[in-house]
A and B are shown apart, each in its own frame.
Chain A
Amino acid sequence: MADKALHLNKKWCKGCGVCVGFCPKQVLKIEDNKCVIAYPEKCIHCGQCELRCPDNAIYIGGRSDEQ
């Protein structure tokens, strides 16, 4: 799990809040109509957000994918 990380593509995010709603650990929140990874340390990489994000804007990747 240590090599996984949650990534957000802010350009694609439309701030619909679906990911925020489905996140079981309250990792995400909406700020200025965009998703924000507010508490990355709480993320368990379950992938619920990625599965339901309509905009391909949030995903679980490797740590090396960090921008």
Chain B
Amino acid sequence: MNCNSTTKNYYRTEKLPHIWCPGCGHGTLLNAVVRAIEKLGLNKDEVVVVSGIGCSSRAPGYLDFNTLHTTHGRALAFATGIKFANPKLHVIVIMGDGDSSAIGGNHLIHAARRNIDLTTIVFNNNIYGMTGGQYSPTTPYGDFATTSAYGNIEKPFDLCSLAQGAGSTYVGRGTAYHTRLMQNLVEKAIQNKGFSFVEGLSICPTYYGRKNKKGDAFEMHTFYKENCVDIKVAEKDPEKGKNKILIGEFHSCPKPEYTESYQVIIDRFQGMGV
């Protein structure tokens, strides 16, 4: 097979190349996720990758794990059923920005609130790509999309703040450019026993990039390179973080996990009559 060993060991190589457009950041982000799984040495039979609908949600089909491509917005609800039914499984959920925070927003806040041990990764490309470039809940104010022809008048979600506010016990943000950071965040997210949320800022040269004159894939990567600042740097020197996109580990605060708390109930009451 004409590919590196990580690809050979963790991808369904017969399904490649994937359907994503040339330069789409999703492939790069997915590689960071796969390298994190490789680094942690997880047993492939015990990994389940769940997705919803959209560009990002095609990811599981290319991966050699137990994979589930569900309905739009519902990935976390399916994943909750899987994890709760069999807590031994490592359940990783890959969603898009519209998928996770528009149609699936309710599932996101409730999965976070329960602190169920799911590793949630959002490939945020600021647009609905699969349907041809409509504005999403993370499209920046004033930006253009096929349904915001005169500029977006809605304010975007900060997905990490949303997840943290809802109770996520691990939160971080990487980008398609900052792949090492992305890998590192996903590793820690998987290791966190509880609901973890990692936002991967992606690039969509085809729709978001073209509509907003952001240049080609390389230029969009370069934008992240030049405009992202790690939160640790910004905390030390707020001037450096001014008007920048913050990346890095935002929140790590373990709390009792849902399936473990339920197991306590089972251990206490199992075998007792009604």
- Do A and B contact each other directly (Cβ–Cβ < 8 Å)? yes
Find out whether the CB atom of B24 lies under 8 angstroms from the CB atom of A54: yes
Given A52-B28, A56-B11, are A18 and B23 neighbors across the interface (CB < 8 Å)? yes
Find out whether the CB atom of B4 lies under 8 angstroms from the CB atom of A21: no
| Across-interface contacts of A11 in B (CB, < 8 A) | 2, 17
Given A17-B216, A54-B23, are A59 and B17 neighbors across the interface (CB < 8 Å)? no
**Interface residues of A toward B: which range?**
20 to 34
Find out whether the CB atom of B17 lies under 8 angstroms from the CB atom of A61: no
Is B129's beta carbon under 8 Å from chain A?
Answer: no
Is B217's beta carbon under 8 Å from chain A?
Answer: yes
Find out whether the CB atom of B17 lies under 8 angstroms from the CB atom of A57: yes
Q: Mark A44-62, 1 if CB is under 8 A from B, else 0.
A: 0000001111111101110
Given A18-B218, A18-B221, A21-B218, are A53 and B3 neighbors across the interface (CB < 8 Å)? no
The B1-52 residues at the A interface (CB cut-off 8 A) are: 2-4, 7, 11, 16-18, 20-28, 31
Find out whether the CB atom of B17 lies under 8 angstroms from the CB atom of A17: no
Given A17-B217, A21-B218, A22-B218, are A56 and B7 neighbors across the interface (CB < 8 Å)? yes
The 8 Å CB contact of A56, one of B25, B26, B31, B221, is B31
Nearest Cβ distance between residue B143 and chain A, in whole angstroms? 22
For this complex, 6 residue pairs linking A to B, each with C-beta atoms less than 8 Å apart, are A12-B17, A14-B23, A16-B216, A17-B23, A18-B218, A55-B18
Q: Write the residues of chain B forming the contact surface with A, with a CB cutoff of 8 angstroms.
A: 2-4, 7, 11, 16-18, 20-28, 31, 176-177, 179-180, 205, 216-218, 221-222
Most buried by B among A7, A22, A51: A51
Q: Write the residues of chain A forming the contact surface with B, with a CB cutoff of 8 angstroms.
A: 7, 9, 11-18, 20-22, 50-57, 59-61, 67
The 8 Å CB contact of B22, one of A15, A21, A22, A56, is A15
Nearest residue (CB) in B for A14 is B22
Given contacts A15-B22, A51-B180, A59-B3, 7 further A-B contacts (CB under 8 A): A9-B3, A11-B2, A14-B23, A18-B217, A54-B28, A61-B4, A67-B2
| Across-interface contacts of B3 in A (CB, < 8 A) | 9, 12, 56-57, 59
Most buried by A among B21, B27, B176: B27
